Amino acid sequence: MTAQAVIVTDKVFSLKGGIHPDERKTLSNTTPIAEVPLPSVLVLPLTMHLGAPADPVVSVGSTVRKGDVLATAVGGISAAVHAPTSGRICAIEERVIAHESGLPAPCILLEADGEDDWRARYGLPNWREQPVDELIQRLRDCGVVGQGGAGFPTDVKYRNKHKPITTLLINAAECEPYITADDRLMREHADEVLQGAVIAKHLLGASTIRLGIEDNKPQALVAMREAAGHLGIDLRISVVPTKYPSGGERQLIQLVTGQEVPRGGLPSDLGIVCQNVGTLASIYRAVVFDEPLISRVTTVTGEAVDAPGNYEVRIGTPIETVLNQAGVHLKKADRVIMGGPMMGFAIPDITAPLMKTTNCLLVPTRKELPRPMPDNPCIRCGLCEQACPVNLLPQQLFWASKHRDLDAAELHSINDCIECGACAYVCPSRIPLVQYYRYAKGELRNEQEEQIKSERARARFEARQARLEKERLEKEARRKARAKAAAEARAAKAESGSGEPDAQDDAIKAAMARAKAKKAGATQNTAEPSREDLEKALELAATKVKKANERLLVAEQESPAMVPALRKALTKLEEKHATAQAALENAAHGEPTRTEVKKETDS
């Protein structure tokens, strides 16, 4: 037990706009978190996070233990996938996953053996004694991602050191209607969340832990307060009024600090790192118990569900299994929504697996969330503008998007739209505004990509023109040199008259002159490289060596088979680099380069 914890309640700043949809939270937050039994087969998509898909390191038929790595993170922004239970890999194939597109994605299929047998774990209860880098690596190794919705790999937030971080902000707002996963997690495991927060604070070198929570979760707030008191953790609490979308990262920062994250910037620009409560609990479990992210709390709710509530579910469990556990009546519903009613999406197929980012499965009856009605024309009433939390003019964005006037859409800052849906919620004409914005954003992205492509094509064309021109000039120069040599030879012949013995001599001389001219032409072709060329070559060689080194490091950790080949390549590259350096040094000292030496010996 440490010193007395200092727990203060801060003032709350205002958030512009926002809406108050029916909360419907009591549907699911009155019962404790329940378990969903282990399914026979788990489906683990390689992309359950933002960033590059993970790379499988298991093969079909291999047996794994609970917590074993199935696929590793690739590159800077990516997250590993782990076995949620012990069993056998039965397939690695494309499966339908919960994604708006409805497209299949590569997944690892794990047949559970029912043993649920853990791999060896190396928990770090004394994590303060470990180097920070190692702890951050642990988060990456455990596949921890943000569980609030986007699934951003958590380790990246701790590696990003471009600004000193002062504050860890716990995002406990959970502003979406229906969802109560964070609420229940805080009520039941506030200590885990807070200990995760202490680890996060340590990793960031931050000085303060702040909690942003909506006033509709009084029990969770009490639990957090009590846990902080008993763990001796200093905490600054901001109880924000219940209003959607106060739980958006940037909106919560505005509510808690009164500051806005600059355009195109990150919360870290303000010295803040924001983490969802579920993510913090995962950080705690990863560091202290070496438990990777293999299960999470998910709200299963909606009027078409018999036992709405929160469930601890293994990642990869088919959604159908989860829904059946909660007793679902799919006949009453016309969609299953992953996420909340404001920002979630209807999943294409309920056989798709539950993912690291699945905070809610909402099965509303047809009456509860009716299908969209035909929209009326926009009457420019401006209710959307009053509701927009980021101060856009949704109505102008709508006109611009509808007319595919992308310039106008950009002029009205369409890319600052967070797609929260507040505008569409208040629209009396029931216009699907967010869908219009998504269309315009997509078109803008396409247009920008096209522009980059054509820019590249232009550069390629210009390079080709330059090369052809250079070749033409060189050819011309060689032709002139040859003509000159021939003229000289003719002149020499005329001068020496027609003496018999000399004639032969002359013929030899002429031949030699011709050869010399040819040589000159040739050397012109491999003209002495300029200093700039040499510097460029050196730079290129240096980056190549650096890249090869990085590749080698990765390979040493992940695919030992590749190491010897990469070593060999690296040695060669290093040689090249040394040669380039020598050439540059020679040039710098005005010493004759190799071609010059050659020329001299020739003559």
- 127 or 398: whose CB is closer to another protein? 398
Residues 6+ away with beta carbon under 8 Å from 276: 146, 147, 148, 170, 171, 172, 182
Residues 6+ away with beta carbon under 8 Å from 84: 42, 44, 66, 110, 294, 295, 314, 315, 316, 317
What is the nearest approach in angstroms of another protein to the Cβ of residue 446?
A: 18
- 43 or 362: whose CB is closer to another protein? 362
User: Residue 275 is inside which H or E element, if any?
Assistant: strand 272-276
What is the nearest approach in angstroms of another protein to the Cβ of residue 373?
A: 8
- 300 or 573: whose CB is closer to another protein? 300
- 289 or 345: whose CB is closer to another protein? 345
Burial of 586 (0-12, 13-18, 19+ CB in 10 A): middle
What is the nearest approach in angstroms of another protein to the Cβ of residue 408?
A: 9
- 71 or 400: whose CB is closer to another protein? 400
Residue from 170, 255, 182 nearest 219 by CA: 182
Beta strand spans in 277-378 (E) = 295-301, 309-314, 337-338, 345-346, 360-362
Return d(Cα 483, Cα 491) in angstroms, integer. 12
| Eight-state DSSP code of residue 95 | E
- 138 or 412: whose CB is closer to another protein? 412
- 317 or 395: whose CB is closer to another protein? 395
What is the nearest approach in angstroms of another protein to the Cβ of residue 210?
A: 20
Tokens matching residue 274: 């924001």
Q: For every residue of 33-72, which 3-state class applies, written as one string? A: CEECCCCCEEEEECCCCCCECCEECCCCCCEECECCEEEE
What is the nearest approach in angstroms of another protein to the Cβ of residue 175?
A: 13
What is the nearest approach in angstroms of another protein to the Cβ of residue 114?
A: 31
What is the nearest approach in angstroms of another protein to the Cβ of residue 335?
A: 5
What is the nearest approach in angstroms of another protein to the Cβ of residue 227?
A: 33
- 323 or 580: whose CB is closer to another protein? 323
Length of the chain: 603
The residue assigned the tokens 């093969």 is 59
- 262 or 590: whose CB is closer to another protein? 262
Residues 180-200 as b/e (b if ≥16 CB within 10 A, e otherwise) read bbbbbbbbbbbbbbbbbbbbb
What is the nearest approach in angstroms of another protein to the Cβ of residue 454?
A: 21
- 229 or 348: whose CB is closer to another protein? 348
Q: Rounded to whole angstroms, what are the CA distances from 577 to 514, 540, 543, 593?
A: 38, 8, 9, 17
Return d(Cα 471, Cα 461) in angstroms, integer. 15
| Identity of the amino acid at 327 | G
Return d(Cα 447, Cα 470) in angstroms, integer. 35
What is the nearest approach in angstroms of another protein to the Cβ of residue 376?
A: 5
Q: What is the DSSP code string of 110-121?
A: EEE-S---BPP-
